[in-house]
Amino acid sequence: MRRPAGPDIPSDRLSPKVIPCGSEFGFKLDAARLEAAITPKTRWLMLNSPNNPCGAIYTQEEFAALGAVLQKHPRILVISDEIYEHIILGDKPFVPFVIACPELRERTLLINGVSKAYAMTGYRLGYAAGPKELIVAMNKTQSQTTTCPSAISQLAAAAALNGPQDFVRDANREYQARGAMVVEGLAAIDGLELQMPEGAFYAFPKCSAFIGKRTPDGQVIETDTDLANYLLRVGKVATVPGSAFGLEPYIRLSFATSRQQLEQAIVQMRDALALLV
């Protein structure tokens, strides 16, 4: 991969730019807002599909539109996080970024791993695929920080990726059933707004109706972080505030657990939220 031409930018002048992708945009980035956000300092575009926390999936056409913008900016590389590629909850298919934008293949770093689809979170193993020059540089950096993944983790990941895929298909059907159950249960709670995610295993309801309310002990719920803390303290349910992802007021609930625990969590959330006035 030849380095794109252009002046170097000192690292101390680089910082992430988050482009808001709320529900009004389908939780996705579009070409117009991407173009508007690009500056001479832009070096990477980070994409995630299926998406955490909202489960949105980019179509081939949506990726192609982003690719058309990137074609005009040869300095910008792409990180495509596709770790939820096998967890599809509806009819919309997963499309890899480089399939939609083959002309950007040499500028794309693919990120994936075995934690999600193969339920191997404890192995702490992911992988990347991309241009040789970039991978060589990444290897040099990693070898000076973590040395290498354990041999056990590597062999286990190879067995998962190369072995029978029945577990992945069976797990995906179960995620679909759990997702439908959780969305139905949360939608029945007055004040929560959400829709069925397209992929991954998270429900991401909007919780603006509860902002400004008071807890039984008189504390005001000022943010979605306050609400998440309240649900943990009173409802005994762990959620993640949307502000952690740059979107608020939302809360994220994982349904990567048993149906029994999910049913209990919904009841406890309903009861805890009913106490707010």
Same domain for 78 and 66? yes
**How much is the pLDDT for 145?**
87
**pLDDT at residue number 274:** 98
Let me know if residue 90 belongs to a domain: yes
Q: Is the pLDDT of residue 52 over 80?
A: yes
Residues 243-249: contacts with CB under 8 Å, at least 24 apart: 245/52, 245/53, 246/18, 246/20, 247/20, 247/21, 247/22, 247/27, 247/53, 247/54, 248/223, 248/224, 249/206, 249/207, 249/208, 249/210, 249/211, 249/223, 249/224
Strands (E), the chain: 44-48, 77-81, 108-113, 126-129, 202-203, 240-241, 251-254
Question: 118, 139, 162 — which closes off a domain?
Answer: 162
pLDDT at 5: 44
Strands (E), 50-165: 77-81, 108-113, 126-129
pLDDT value of position 21: 92
In this predicted model, what pLDDT tens digit does every residue of 101-133 receive, in sequence order? 999 999 999 999 999 999 999 999 999 999 999
For residue 113, CA distances in Å to 44, 101, 110, 122, 161 come to 21, 22, 10, 12, 10
Q: Which of 110, 131, 162 is the last residue of a domain?
A: 162
3 lies in some domain: no
Note down the domain range covering 180. 166-274
The pLDDT assigned to 149 comes to 86
pLDDT band for 262, please (50, 70, 90 cuts).
very high
**Whether residues 128 and 29 fall in one domain:** yes
Which is more confident, 1 or 137? 137
78 in the same domain as 180: no
pLDDT at residue 2, rounded to an integer = 45
Strands (E), 184-246: 202-203, 240-241
Q: How many CB atoms sit inside 10 A of residue 126's CB?
A: 15
When pLDDT is cut at 50, 70 and 90, the band that residue 6 belongs to is very low
**Nearest in space to 85 (alpha carbons), one of 104, 46, 112:** 112
Q: Mean of the per-residue pLDDT values for the chain? A: 94
Residue 99 phi, psi (nearest 5): -75, -40
Specify the number of domains making up the chain: 2
pLDDT band at 217 (very low <50, low <70, confident <90, very high): very high
Distance separating alpha carbons of residues 206 and 216, to the nearest angstrom: 22
**pTM for this entry:** 0.90
pLDDT recorded at residue 156: 97
Q: How high is the pLDDT of residue 62?
A: 98
**187 assigned to some structural domain:** yes
**Does the structure show a pLDDT above 80 at 56?**
yes
Confidence of residue 143 (pLDDT cuts 50, 70, 90): confident
pLDDT digits (tens, 9 = 90+) for 169-210: 999 999 999 999 999 999 999 999 999 999 999 999 999 999
224 near 241, Cβ under 8 Å?
yes
**134 and 67 in a common domain:** yes
pLDDT at 15 over 90: no
Looking at the structure, tell me whether residues 37 and 152 fall in a common domain.
yes
- Collapsing DSSP states into helix, strand and coil, what is residue 108? strand
The amino acid that residue 2 corresponds to is: R
- Give mean pLDDT, residues 233-242: 98
Q: What angle do CA 250, 253, 257 make, to 5 degrees?
A: 175
The whole-angstrom distance between residue 40's C-alpha and the CA centroid of its chain comes to 27
Please report the pLDDT score of residue 11 as a whole number: 53
204 and 235 part of one domain = yes
